[in-house]
Amino acid sequence: MLSIHIDTATTWRGGQNQVLLTVMGLRAAGERTLLVAHPDGELRRRAAEGLEFIALAPSHELDLKAGWRLSRLINRLRPDIVHAHDPHGVSMAALALSMSSVQPPAPLVASRRVDFHLKRHSFSQWKYRQVTTFIAASDAIAEVLAADGIPRSRIVTVHEGIDVDRIEHIEPASVHAEFWLPTHAPVVGNIGALVAHKGQRHLIDAAAIVLRTVPDARFVILGEGELREALEHQVKHLHLEKHVFLPGFRADVLALLKGFDVFVMSSETEGLGTSILDAMACAKPVVATRTGGIPEVVEHEGTGHLVPPHDPAAMAAAIVALLRDPDRRARMGAAGLARVRERFTVERMVEGTRHVYRQAAESMRNPERGVPTEGGVRNAEGGGRSEP
């Protein structure tokens, strides 16, 4: 089976990592894959070796030229599946398939990794009608899609996965040495783009509360984004310059994660949270907000603590409880590692995706059958943000 994968982002975030893991995992399973991605994107750089690659991305959502170029590729290769991994990728793929001379057209599979609502303008409604099957990264996302009017028969949950074995073999970095932290200071870490819905401002407020009880604690927030200046101003306003650090984007993020004592996900909304999966694979206890797909990952009181979003006091209390109890941290870390090995491996995610492909192809041949629920995936049972 030949699948064409489309991602239009220039940056490197959890979604792009999932695209690469999917494409590489399908190839390892014997499938032929072709990656279509932004010519100047980080995904292109990281996928440079060993992959069939086409440099192509739309300049805007309704880019007819990009759609036409992709349609020529589809006409030539006649793929079995076209898989769009982001909203602009869905736009380009829908346009391309509508222009293509191949009949019947290849099924269009669309990944949804965010729990934002779909846009409601006419073009958005048209493009999403072209999608054969939506792969939701969590049940929470599936419920949002269903609420937006997508038929449940076209929504399948396939939880995101990570390469647990690779993460386990990464050599840990010394966070204390890297950032000149006091030798025995406990380290609380966060990883994510510095954007509003990731909620780092709440973590900084929580840090001020934690320090009243654990004055030697340090907080390291890894990531880059539009709110850097605002977050730096908040740190200065609270006089936390010696305790809260924003080192920016780091390629060695997993090695640094292994140096954290506690991992915190402070999101206001979150599709699933692959950084949490990474932290659990590093055997780190997690404090995370009870929002979006996060409760599908974190087992409260088992692999970590779930707290309400927008609640720095509750977050601080959970952090302090873990910093004061190294035995609990060790137990929760071990439980988290066992949980990702059981439920959130890249192998499980790839097999679920392959199953969706087979059923999407069958549903194109027999539209009345829809997408059955088996093989590790399931249909969705089910106001907020709109997609970016």
Provide the CATH number for the domain around residue 249.
3.40.50.2000
The reported pTM is 0.89
Q: Are residues 213 and 276 in the same domain?
A: yes
Is residue 139 within 8 Å of 373, Cβ to Cβ? no
Weakest mean pLDDT among 1-5, 75-79, 178-182, 378-382: 378-382
Residue numbers of the domain that contains 210 = 164-343
pLDDT at 44: 84
Contact at 8 Å (CB) between 108 and 82?
Answer: yes
Query: What is the H or E stretch that residue 108 is in?
Result: strand 108-112
386 is a domain residue: no
Within a domain: residue 387? no
Dump pLDDT digits (tens) for 109-166: 999 999 999 998 999 999 999 999 999 999 999 999 999 999 999 999 999 999 999 9
Q: What is the C-alpha to C-alpha distance for residues 201 and 310, in angstroms, rounded to an integer?
A: 9
Per the model's pLDDT, the better-predicted residue between 11 and 75 turns out to be 75
Q: What is the mean pLDDT of residues 213-217?
A: 98
Give the tens place of pLDDT for each residue, 54-99.
999 999 989 999 999 999 999 999 999 999 999 999 999 999 999 9
Does residue 385 lie in a domain region? no
Residue 384 lies inside a defined structural domain of this protein: no
**114 and 185 in a common domain:** no
Q: Which contiguous run of DSSP H or E holds residue 165?
A: helix 164-168
Q: What is the pLDDT of residues 288-304, one digit of tens each?
A: 999 999 999 999 999 99
Residue 388 lies in a domain: no
Q: Who's near 255: CB < 8 A, 6+ residues apart?
A: 170, 171, 172, 173
pLDDT on residue 369? 47
Residues 227 and 147 in one domain: no
Residues 87 and 10 in one domain: yes
pLDDT tens-digit series, residues 13-44:
888 999 999 999 999 999 999 999 999 888 88
**358 and 231 both lie in a single domain:** no
pLDDT digits (tens, 9 = 90+) for 235-248: 999 999 999 999 99
Identify whether residues 328 and 368 lie together within a single domain: no
Residues 250, 316, single domain; the answer is: yes
- Whether residue 29 is found in the same domain as residue 102: yes
Q: Is residue 307, in this structure, part of any structural domain at all?
A: yes
pLDDT given for residue 382 in this prediction: 39
- Asked if residue 245 belongs to a domain, the reply is yes
Is the pLDDT at 104 greater than 90? The verdict is no
- What are the tens digits of pLDDT across the range 245-288? 999 999 899 999 999 999 999 999 999 999 999 999 999 999 99
In a domain, 192, yes or no: yes
Q: Which residue has the higher pLDDT, 212 or 120?
A: 212
- Give the model confidence (pLDDT) of 313-326 as tens digits: 999 999 999 999 99
Give the pLDDT of residue 387: 55
Q: Is the same domain home to 133 and 264?
A: no
Are 157 and 96 in the same domain? yes
Quote the pLDDT of residue 365: 67
Q: Are residues 188 and 92 in the same domain?
A: no
User: Does residue 380 surpass a pLDDT of 50?
Assistant: no
In this structure, are residues 197 and 268 in contact, taking their beta carbons and an 8 Å threshold? yes
Positive or negative, the CA dihedral 36, 193, 118, 134 is positive
Q: Say yes or no to pLDDT of 374 above 60.
A: no
Per-residue pLDDT tens over the stretch 337-357: 999 999 999 999 999 999 999
255 lies in the same domain as 154: no
Question: Exposed e or buried b for every residue in 127-140, given b needs 16+ CB within 10 A?
Answer: bbebbbbbbbbbbb
Domain count, the chain: 2
Cα(168)–Cα(276) distance, integer angstroms: 15
The predicted structure's pLDDT at residue 230: 98
Cβ–Cβ < 8 Å for 41, 9: yes
